[in-house]
Amino acid sequence: MVTIEQWTGQHAAALRRALRLSIREFAKLLGINERTVSKWEERGAAVVLRPINQSGLDTALESSDRHAQQRFATIIASEGGALALGTESPALPHTNTIIRHTGDGKSMAHVPAGVYLSGDRDAPVWLAEFYIDVYPVTNTEYANFAQATGHPAPNHWNGRHPPAELAEHPVVHVTHLDAAAYASWAGKQSPTAMQWEKAARGEEGNRYPWGNQATAAKCNTRESGLGCTTPVNCYHSGTSAYGVYDLAGNVWEWTASETTPGRFILKGSAFTSPFIMAEAAAVNDAAETMSDDDTGFRCTVPGPTVPEPG
């Protein structure tokens, strides 16, 4: 298999030619503007692409057929470009700091301290650093918790075990209380709405986790037509700047932030939601006892104590 360690405009142009797509078709495949593709090709090897665009190109290359990959390798070799043969692309952008939490073994992404643009008015907000789960909690992970603690299983499972075909899908039919119980068992916390939003928007205040382009194909919302959850690692081109998956679509996620006593903010939208709700600033809420087939959660842990700048 052919992979690229560091995508440049030269590599992107080669992939477009290997796929035999026009600039318009290639831009549509990646969910970006045609002018961006043209700019890449004009600057060639002189431009190194952003991690979110590299992720989209990785996905396009990985999903292409053997003949397209062979054409791509031939084009790159003829132009003197760098590529790797017989290796797998990293699942996460290599520039992100990822740790493995000792409590539940999940991968967590580092979100550094600093200001981000919050809400639909882009108000600047400073947050201390923290770590957030790269993926929502899956059925398999929730089963480990339920078996260790005797906590009740979601009502759509086969007794104490989730359906095998849903093992790596996000757990659903969990209340806010269930999410808090899991977090406590794992030695973690539920994210605040602000933490969740910063993990999705990054320091630049992106409209969506992947940027500002309204590209429904980068997440599992109603427009996908699937009508159900997907495995948590499906949407490689829809990750945030910190390498976090499923911050748009798939399932709504509980946060620790209350709107009124007993009601908590939900973020992220779901497979049942229209794409407009996938905007990172969008807000939903529900009673803490609500349990539905489109609602799950992920967790956070704080970073080292950092004083807020004066």
10-residue mean pLDDT profile of the chain (310 residues): values are: 77 91 90 91 87 85 79 71 40 62 92 90 90 97 97 92 95 98 96 97 92 93 94 93 96 98 97 96 97 97 58
Domain 98-302 classification at class level: alpha beta
Fold match flag (2-85 vs 98-302)? no
**Considering the entire predicted model, what is its pTM?**
0.69
Phi, psi at 246, each rounded to 5°: 60, 35
Ordered by start, the domain boundaries in the chain are: 2-85, 98-302
Question: Taking Cα atoms as reference points, which of 190, 206, 202 lies closest to residue 297?
Answer: 190
What is the number of helices (H) and of strands (E) in the chain? 8, 12
DSSP letter for each residue of 192-213: PHHHHHHHHHTTTT-SBTTBS-
Contact 31, 60 (CB under 8 A): no
Classify domain 2-85 at the CATH topology level.
434 Repressor (Amino-terminal Domain) (1.10.260)
Question: Taking Cα atoms as reference points, which of 244, 215, 216, 246 lies closest to residue 229?
Answer: 246
Phi, psi at 223, each rounded to 5°: -65, -20
**pLDDT for residue 35:** 92
Neighbours of 78 (CB within 10 A): 9
**pLDDT for residue 91:** 37
**pLDDT for residue 270:** 97
Q: What is the dihedral of CA 249, 96, 110, 220, to 10 degrees?
A: 0
